[in-house]
Chains A and B, each alone.
Chain A
Amino acid sequence: MPFHAPDGLYAPRAARPPISVMLVDDHLLLREGVRAVIGTQPDLTIAGEAEDGAQAIALYERLRPDVVLMDLQMPDMSGVEAIEAIRRGDPGARIIVLTTFSGDGRAIKALRAGAMGYLLKASLRKELLDAIRSVFNGGKHLDAQVATAIALHVLDDDLTERELAVLTLAAAGNSNKQIAARIGLSEETVKGHMKQAFAKLGAADRTHAVTIAAKRGLIEI
C-alpha cells in the first residue's frame, strides 16, 4: 500500500542559496583560516569580515548574513556587547561564538545575550562546519567541554557587578583599603563584598577567589 504523506510532514524540495557567513575577529590570521575552511564548502559563502565589535554591528546591518562567527575578546567592544547590539537590531540573528575561552562565565553571558553556538578556536574543521549549518537551521551548538562547565555553575548565584569590580581590583594587587578608595566605599563594605564573592565561588581566600573568577571567565586580568 503506497504511503501518502499526511499534511504537515512534507516540505517540497527547494534549491537555496549558500549560507552567508560573517566573520568577526581582530586577528587576520584567524579570519584567513576560517575563510579558507568555508571556501571549500559549496553551500557556504563568506559575506563579509569585521575586526571589532563596532564594525561588526554596522556590517551586520548592511549585509544581514545568515550566520555570524564572533570572537569574544576584541578591542573597544567585547563580543558579548556586539552580540547584544546585533540582536537588538535583529532578534533573529544567528551568532556563533568562536573563542579561546572555555570557562563558563563568558559562555553563559554570550548564550544569555543570544548566541546560538559556542565553539573553541581549537575546534576541528568538521565541528565548525557542522555548527554553522546547525545554527543556520535553528539549532544550538556547544562544545561539550563548555557545556559541562556551564552546567556546573549555571544554577549558582551570579556575582553582583560590585563583587566583580572588587575582585577585579583585588586581581590587580589592590588591598581592601585601596579598593575602597578606588570605588568610593568603606573598607568594611569592601570586606563584605569580598566575603560574599568567596562564598559564591567556594573560595578559601582572595587569591583563590581571583584565580577561580579568572579561570571561569568572570573577570579579566
Chain B
Amino acid sequence: MPPIPPRPLGQYRHVRFVAAQIAIEAPVDLLIVGMQEKDGGRSGAEQVDRALHGTLGRLRAGGIFTGMAGEELTLWAPPAPIGARSLMLIGLGAGLAGDPLRIGRLTRQAMRSTLCTHARKVACLLGWNGLDIAEEGIEEIAAAMMRGALLALDGLETPPRPIEWIFDIRNGQAQRTAAALENALATWHSPE
C-alpha cells in the first residue's frame, strides 16, 4: 500500500484528530488495538501479536486477557518493535461484523480510558482490519468511531489536556475513511 500522508481532521475539546496509516513502530504514548476472542488473523492485535512473538495470543489462551467485548488490558512499556510507551488491548468479542453501534461504543471506551492516562499522542488501531466491513459501510463505521470518541469527550466536566488522536486509515479506503471521519467531527453537536 503506497504511503498516504497524515491528514488533520480538526480539533474538539483540546483533542486534535488526525487520520493516518499507523505503523506499530510509531513512537506514540499509547497504541490501542482491538483483539477478538479467537484468532481472526486480520485484527490490529494479530499484527502486534506477530511482532511480539505470540505474547498476546498466549495471554488470551491462558485466560489473562480473553478478548471478550469491552475487556481492556494495558501493557506498560512493550518491547521493540512496538514503538508505543504503552499498549492498550480492547476486546472485540467474537467480532464486530461492521456493527457501527458496537464499534462506536468501543471507540468511546478507548477514548475514555485514554483520558485516564498521561498519554498525549495516541494511535487508535481499534478497528478496520478485524471488522469485516462491506465497502458501502465504510462511511458509517468511520462516523461511528469518531462519534464514539467525541461522546467520551463530552462526558468530561472540563476539556482534557491537549491530545493528538490518530485514527488508522489502512483499510484500503483511506480517502473515504478520512473524509467520513472529518465530516462526523465537523457536524458534531454536543448532545447537551
Instruction: Enumerate chain A interface residues (CB-CB to B < 8 A).
Output: 1-6, 8-13, 15, 108, 111, 119, 123, 126-127, 129-131, 133-134, 136-145, 147-148, 150-152, 154-155
- Asked if B59 and A144 sit within 8 Å, CB to CB, the answer is no
17 contacts between A and B (CB under 8 A): A4-B191, A8-B105, A9-B151, A130-B76, A130-B86, A134-B72, A134-B113, A134-B117, A139-B88, A140-B73, A144-B76, A144-B79, A145-B77, A148-B55, A151-B62, A152-B58, A154-B62
Bound-state CA distance A6–B74 (Å) is 29
Known: A133-B116, A154-B61. A144 touches B191 (CB 8 A): no
* B151 CB to nearest chain A CB (Å): 5
Q: A8-B105, A151-B59, A154-B58 are in contact. Are A15 and B154 (CB under 8 A)?
A: no
A to B contact number (C-beta, < 8 Å): 119
In addition to A134-B116, A154-B64, 14 A-B residue pairs with Cβ atoms within 8 Å of each other are: A5-B191, A9-B151, A127-B77, A130-B74, A134-B72, A140-B65, A140-B74, A142-B64, A142-B73, A142-B75, A144-B77, A144-B78, A144-B79, A150-B62
Q: Tell me, in angstroms, the Cα distance from A213 to B49 when the chains sit together.
A: 27
- Tell me which residues from 37 to 81 in chain B have a Cβ below 8 Å from any Cβ of chain A: 52, 54-56, 58-59, 61-65, 71-79
Q: Is B112 an interface residue (CB 8 A)?
A: yes
Judging by beta carbons under 8 Å apart, are B73 and A9 in contact? no
Asked if B189 is at the interface (CB within 8 A of a chain A CB), the reply is: yes
Shortest Cβ gap from B88 to chain A (Å): 8
B interface, CB within 8 angstroms of A: 52, 54-56, 58-59, 61-65, 71-79, 86-88, 101, 104-105, 108, 112-113, 116-118, 147-148, 151, 154-157, 184, 187-189, 191
Cβ-defined partner of A134 (8 Å) among B58, B74, B108: B74
- A149 to B62 alpha-carbon distance, docked (Å): 12
In the assembled complex, which residues on chain B have CB atoms less than 8 Å from the CB atom of A1? Answer: 187
Residues of A within 8 A of B154 (CB): 10, 13
B105 and A3 form a contact (CB under 8 A): no
Complex CA gap A59/B184 in Å reads: 49
Which residue from chain B places its CB closest to the CB of A12 in the assembled complex? B155
Residues of A within 8 A of B86 (CB): 127, 130
Contact residues in B for A144 (Cβ distance below 8 Å): 75-79, 87
Residue of B nearest to A149 (CB): B55
